[in-house]
């Protein structure tokens, strides 16, 4: 599903590569934790998958497409098959829960009938039934992240990328967020989650890829967070 | 759904940037109105040129008894024989289409109708003061000077007047007006382009959250850019409508008042309609292009 082959990324004005000859394979339906300290290249990895950045060397394949040969014109279509969740939720403050989720479908031109049918289903899937008409500032952090996950998942992407989704959320609420991610993963969606949260990684017992200074130092199935130390 | 969504985005964008939008509309309106005035003057000049082309004559005035002209000194006026020779000479010229003779009485008559029967000027002038003349029409406007030169030296001719010269003063005045209108229009169009650039930049900044999410969920470039381009287009269109109103007003108050002296060479409404359509199209195209070009810089897709 995601295939990195010897990928190197150096940002302009920086000597040290953000990613240094990375090769990694993520299969369809897998759940992968991307761990490592800040600046180890986790976010760069996710940005490369989205083709927000281009690698300086190496090849990236996502959902069977060679990103180097994917024209800019087709990038939006790639992104429709990838959902994204961030630490800061990135909701629209002037739209309610339903509208925030529906926005993702409106802007890719889905018909209104389809949106009316699908959005409530997804809002229920993330556990926000009955709160569809709340505004984001009336929701807790955990609930806002659920909205963000609903928006990321509403178009049934093949891949869900999560960049520290529990970074702003207390541990008890984080468990709920992880349950939703697990639920999404069980529908067959590949999930890649970058995180610092050792407790979550340890409890989930999924594949762990650890980055340090842009290099993979550990790739372990059913791993835990801190084993390398 | 699509159209609904885009229009609501456009409306939000225009409202958030109201002052900038108004600035764009005013600049576009004045710029396009001046461009339109320039085009209308252009149409007026070409109308007049067509109209006058077959009316302009060369007037060869003949010596009267006490003519002050150098050529008539000590001649005691044109003789019967000189007049006949001149007429035959002019008629023999291949460039000449028509020639007719205007005697002193006829000239006095024209003079009186031109200035009004009770004017002081008319009262001071007697029939004998009016010069008799040959009025020459030329087949081809280019041969005016050649014909004039040949008549000038003939005996009994006091002076030769080319009406085209008088019209040319008019035309050069109109031409200067047109160029100044176009120059100011050009400056304003330039200002409008910069203003639109700024408006779009502000708009893109205001909506960076929305566009960021749109990018993330895979909205196509067209879908992301269209609201911004439409904002420019609508500002251009409203500016165009204001410009059209200004142009109609200039036709009613300016060209109409000049037009009553011009008879059938006056600017018609069909000319105005054509100018309005052209300026509107130009205004909208400029706005759309300016929005699009700035978008490429400020909205990463």
Helix ranges (DSSP H) in chain B: 2-16, 18-53, 80-92, 104-115, 120-124, 144-152, 163-206, 208-216, 221-250, 256-259, 269-298
Residue B75 has pLDDT above 70, yes or no: no
CB atoms A112 and B1 under 8 Å: yes
Mean pLDDT over B105-119 rounds to 78
Report pLDDT for B13: 79
Report pLDDT for B300: 67
CB atoms B217 and A78 under 8 Å: no
Q: What percent of chain B is predicted at pLDDT more than 70? A: 95
- Decide which of A123, A138, A156 is a domain's last residue: A156
Q: Which one of A143-147, A203-207, B151-155 scores highest in mean pLDDT? A: A143-147
Residues A181 and A71 in one domain: yes
Contacts of A80 in chain B (CB under 8 A): 217-218
Confidence grade of residue B245 (pLDDT, cut at 50, 70, 90): very high
Residues A146 and A103 in one domain: yes
Residues A19 and A132 in one domain: no
Contacts of B221 in chain A (CB under 8 A): 73, 76
Residues A97 and A28 in one domain: no
Residues A112 and A71 in one domain: no
HSE toward the beta carbon, residue B177, CA cutoff 13 A: 16
Residues A8 and A76 in one domain: yes
Q: Which of B210, B213, B218, B221 to mutate to test the interface with A (most CBs of A within 10 A)?
A: B218
Residues A15 and A70 in one domain: yes
Mean pLDDT over A113-131 rounds to 94
Residues A18 and A131 in one domain: no
Query: Which among B1, B5, B219 has the least Cβ separation from residue A76?
Result: B219
φ, ψ for residue B125 (rounded to 5)? -105, 135
Report pLDDT for B7: 83
- Decide which of A99, A133, A156 is a domain's last residue: A156
Report pLDDT for A186: 94
More confident residue, B121 or A6: A6
Residue B33 has pLDDT above 70, yes or no: yes
Residues A152 and A162 in one domain: no
Please name every residue paired with A210 in a beta bridge, in sequence order, or none if there are none: A35, A218
Contact A76/B at CB under 8 A = yes
Mean pLDDT over B250-276 rounds to 80
* Nearest C-alpha in B relative to A151: B217
Mean pLDDT over A157-170 rounds to 94
Mean pLDDT over B228-242 rounds to 91
Q: Which two tokens stand for residue A114?
A: 């389809």
Report pLDDT for B74: 67
Residue B27 CB coordination number (10 Å): 21
Indicate whether A229 belongs to any domain: yes
Q: The domain B54-162: what is its CATH number?
A: 3.30.70.3040
Spatial contact of B197 and B290, defined as CB atoms under 8 Å apart: yes
More confident residue, B92 or A133: A133
Q: Which region among A183-197, A198-212, B73-87, B193-207 has the lowest average model confidence (pLDDT)?
A: B73-87
The residue extents of the domains of chain B are 2-52+168-298, 54-162
Q: How many domains does chain A fold into?
A: 2
d(CA B247, CA B33): 6
Mean pLDDT over B58-66 rounds to 80
Torsion of CA B209, B214, B215, B217, to 10 degrees: 120
d(CA B43, CA B272): 9
- pLDDT tens readout for residues A25-61: 999 999 999 999 888 999 999 999 999 999 999 999 9
Contact A199/B at CB under 8 A = no
Contacts of B1 in chain A (CB under 8 A): 106, 109-112, 115
Q: What percent of chain A is predicted at pLDDT more than 70? A: 99
On the 0-12 / 13-18 / 19+ scale of CB atoms within 10 A, A81 is middle
Please name every residue paired with B61 in a beta bridge, in sequence order, or none if there are none: B133, B159
Residues A65 and A105 in one domain: no
Residues A71 and A5 in one domain: yes
Report pLDDT for A229: 46
Indicate whether A102 belongs to any domain: yes
Contacts of A104 in chain B (CB under 8 A): 213, 217
Query: Which among A72, A90, A107 has the least Cβ separation from residue B219?
Result: A107
Q: Which two tokens stand for residue A182?
A: 């697990």
Residues A171 and A139 in one domain: no
φ, ψ for residue A4 (rounded to 5)? -105, 130
As for the ipTM of the complex, it is 0.86
Residue B231 CB coordination number (10 Å): 27
CB atoms B301 and A72 under 8 Å: yes
Q: Which region among A194-198, B31-35, B171-175 has the lowest average model confidence (pLDDT)?
A: B171-175
Confidence grade of residue A70 (pLDDT, cut at 50, 70, 90): very high
More confident residue, B196 or A11: A11
Interface of A with B in 4-33 (CB under 8 A): none
Contact A78/B at CB under 8 A = yes
Report pLDDT for B189: 86
Task: Look over chain B and give the mean of its residue pLDDT values, rounded to a whole number.
Answer: 82
d(CA A44, CA A4): 13
Indicate whether A86 belongs to any domain: no
On the 0-12 / 13-18 / 19+ scale of CB atoms within 10 A, A27 is exposed
In the A/B pair of chains, how many CB contacts fall below 8 A? 59
Domain CATH code at residue A183: 3.40.50.300
Contacts of A77 in chain B (CB under 8 A): 218
The 10 Å CB-count burial string (b at 16+, else e) for A28-54 is: eebbbbbbbeeebbbbbbbbbbbbebe
Sign of torsion over alpha carbons B92, B93, B97, B98: negative
Q: Which of B217, B225, B226, B300 to mutate to test the interface with A (most CBs of A within 10 A)?
A: B217
Domain boundaries, position A103: 91-156
Q: Which one of A10-14, A130-134, B103-107, B159-163 scores highest in mean pLDDT? A: A130-134
Residue B87 has pLDDT above 80, yes or no: yes
Q: Which two tokens stand for residue B292?
A: 């699009």
Confidence grade of residue A178 (pLDDT, cut at 50, 70, 90): very high
């Amino acid at each position: 599903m995601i295939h990195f082959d010897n990928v190197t990324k150096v940002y302009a004005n920086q000597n040290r590569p953000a990613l240094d000859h990375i090769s990694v394979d993520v299969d369809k339906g897998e759940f992968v934790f991307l761990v490592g300290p800040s600046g180890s290249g986790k976010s760069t990895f996710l940005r490369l998958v989205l083709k927000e950045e281009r690698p300086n060397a190496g090849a990236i394949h996502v959902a069977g497409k060679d990103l180097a040969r994917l024209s800019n014109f087709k990038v939006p279509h790639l992104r429709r098959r990838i959902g994204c969740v961030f630490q800061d939720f990135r909701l629209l403050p002037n739209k309610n829960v339903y509208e925030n989720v529906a926005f993702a479908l409106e802007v890719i031109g889905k018909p209104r009938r389809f949106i009316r049918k699908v959005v409530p289903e997804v809002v229920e899937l993330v556990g926000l039934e009955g709160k569809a008409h709340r505004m984001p500032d009336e929701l807790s952090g955990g609930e806002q992240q659920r909205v963000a996950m609903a928006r990321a998942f509403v178009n049934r992407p093949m891949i869900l990328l999560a960049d520290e989704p529990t970074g702003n959320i207390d541990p008890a609420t984080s468990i709920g967020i992880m349950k939703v991610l697990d639920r999404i993963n069980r529908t067959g969606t590949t999930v890649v989650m970058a995180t610092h949260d050792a407790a979550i990684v340890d409890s989930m017992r999924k594949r762990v890829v650890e980055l340090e200074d842009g290099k993979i130092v550990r790739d372990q199935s059913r791993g835990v967070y801190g084993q390398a130390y | 759904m699509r159209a609904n969504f885009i229009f609501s985005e456009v409306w939000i964008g225009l409202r958030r940037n109201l002052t900038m939008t108004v600035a764009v509309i005013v600049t576009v309106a004045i710029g396009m109105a001046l461009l339109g005035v320039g085009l209308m003057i252009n149409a007026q000049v070409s109308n007049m040129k067509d109209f006058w082309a077959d009316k302009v004559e060369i007037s060869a005035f003949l010596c009267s008894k006490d003519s002050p002209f150098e050529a008539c000194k000590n001649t005691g006026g044109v003789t019967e024989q000189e007049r006949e020779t001149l007429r035959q000479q002019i008629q023999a010229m291949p460039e000449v289409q028509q020639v007719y003779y205007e005697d002193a009485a006829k000239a006095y008559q024209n003079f009186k109708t031109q200035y009004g029967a009770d004017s002081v000027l008319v009262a001071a002038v007697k029939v004998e003061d009016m010069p008799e003349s040959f009025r020459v029409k030329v087949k081809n406007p280019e041969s005016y000077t050649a014909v004039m030169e040949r008549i000038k030296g003939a005996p009994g001719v006091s002076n030769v007047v080319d009406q085209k010269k008088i019209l040319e003063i008019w035309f050069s005045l109109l031409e200067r007006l047109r160029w100044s209108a176009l120059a100011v229009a050009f400056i304003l169009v330039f200002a409008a382009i910069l203003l639109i650039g700024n408006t779009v930049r502000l708009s893109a900044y205001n909506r960076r959250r929305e566009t960021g999410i749109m990018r993330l969920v895979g909205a196509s470039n067209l879908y992301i850019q269209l609201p911004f381009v439409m904002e420019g287009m609508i500002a251009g269109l409203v500016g165009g409508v204001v410009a059209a109103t200004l142009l109609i007003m200039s036709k009613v108050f300016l060209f109409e008042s000049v037009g009553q002296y011009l008879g059938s060479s006056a600017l018609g409404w069909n000319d105005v309609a054509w100018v309005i359509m052209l300026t509107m199209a130009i205004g909208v195209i400029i706005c759309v292009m300016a929005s699009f070009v700035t978008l490429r810089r400020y909205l990463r897709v």
